[in-house]
Amino acid sequence: MEICVTKRALITGITGQDGAYLAALLLEKGYEVHGLARRSSSSDVNLSRLDWLGITKDVRIVDGNLLDLSGLIRTLRDVQPGEVYNLGAQSFVKSSWQQPVLTGQVTGIGVANVLEAVRLELPNARFYQASSSEMYGLIQEPMQSEVTPFYPRSPYAVAKLYGHWLTVNYRESFGLHASSGILFNHESPLRGIEFVTRKVTDGVARIKLGLASELRLGNIDAKRDWGHSKDYVRAMWMMLQQDVADDYVIATGRTTTVRDMCKIAFEHAGLDIDKHLVIDPDLFRPAEVDVLLGNPQKAKDAFGWEATITLEDMIVEMVDADLKRLSHLKSV
């Protein structure tokens, strides 16, 4: 294992899925890890994912918000990180139609705030932006790479596109070491319950335990290129270890329908999908991204990154984790 004792990182969005896995990876590598997190009225900060990974006590939480530029500047001044990972966002695509302005502010302008704070306070720090395959949207090409044109299909994707191009622009305008990772969907047992993989694995676990009888989904013909968050946070770190900053697609190179992903979960639990899956028109989106399939060749050539965890293994891990999590509620 590589140890770099002098390295210090700041992660925005540390309480989210990727923030937690990235924090664990950096701690393993000997980093001092600081995480920006916002407080809520019910708890100081949502530490449940860091708790799940057993790393809460090893991470230093800084109170802050992506909307507050002065707070970000002060945080960078106090923490002096060598690497800044901007993972914070309103990240649920469907919510972005309900909250387009908030999504624009947090997911778009939030990037400008972090980039400004880096430019003004720590221009030598390395910066990572969490860009998204959603930016491709209504794509024209069968496989998406760094040179595929973008056509965003949701307020979320429009906001991400702003953050992506601003990252490119700050690299070109000010010489910042700023990289944008165009990451395709990635999941884990720490995935938010509103996203389709976790909704499915949680739903299957509930049906198996007798706590529910059906699972309601929207468009199950949509296709996604799904990988595991653990693999994808490794790519973020690798990007910032390169001498020259650049943009990279991170994907598995395989696409699967929501329907086939569901089948893996139902089969693992020994359940008949046809008896439980219900299609609910209310769950369809105002505009859909029908198919995503990424080409990660550039990242493989530049720093040897490849996905190591298959969709099947990941869904099985997620179903088992949800069964364990819910077992105390089992109906008798």
- Binding residues for ligand NDP (CB under 6 A): 12-13, 15-19, 36, 38, 46, 65-67, 87-91, 106, 130, 132, 183, 185-186, 192
Angle between helical axes of 110-121 and 155-174 (0-180°, round to 10): 20
Taking the least distance from each CB to ligand GDR, the nearer of 290 and 312 is 290
180 vs 185, which CB is nearer to ligand GDR? 185
Give the type of residue at 284: F
Structure tokens belonging to residue 61: 């939480």
Residues numbered 247-306 forming contacts with ligand GDR, rule: CB under 6 A:
258, 283, 285, 288
Q: In whole angstroms, give the CA distance from residue 94 to residue 194.
A: 9
CB-based contact 294:133 (threshold 8 Å): yes
| Residue whose token pair is 């006590």 | 57
Q: By the 8 A CB rule, do 51 and 190 touch?
A: no
283 binds, among ligand GDR, ligand NDP, none (CB under 5 to 8 A by kind): ligand GDR
Q: Are 179 and 167 in contact (CB under 8 A)?
A: yes
Q: Least CB distance from residue 156 to ligand NDP, whole Å?
A: 7
**Shortest CA distance to 118 belongs to which of 156, 81, 164?**
81
Alpha helices in 53-109 (DSSP H): 69-79, 95-98, 100-103
Shorter beta-carbon distance to ligand GDR: residue 224 or 298: 224
227 DSSP 8-state letter: E
Q: Three-class SS of residue 36?
A: strand
Cα gap 327→289, rounded to integer Å: 35
CB of 66 to ligand NDP, least distance (A): 4
String marking each residue 150-189 x if it binds ligand GDR according to CB under 6 A = ----------------------------------xx----
Nearest to 123 by CA among 55, 198, 70, 73: 73
3-state secondary structure of 87: coil
Candidate list 12, 86, 91, 148; residue touching ligand GDR; CB under 6 A? 91
x/- site string to ligand GDR, residues 108 to 147, per CB under 6 A? ------------------------xxx-------------
Instruction: Answer yes or no whether residue 231 interacts with ligand GDR by CB under 6 A.
Output: no
Radius of gyration of the chain (CA): 20
Which is nearer to ligand GDR, 32 or 134 (by Cβ)? Answer: 134
Q: Which is nearer to ligand GDR, 93 or 245 (CB)?
A: 93
* Min dist. Cβ of residue 185 to ligand NDP (A): 4
Whole-number minimum distance, CB 319 to ligand NDP, in Å?
18
**Residue nearer to ligand GDR on the CB measure, 27 or 291:** 291
Binding site for ligand GDR (CB under 6 A): 91, 93-94, 132-134, 184-185, 194-196, 199, 217-220, 222, 224, 258, 283, 285, 288
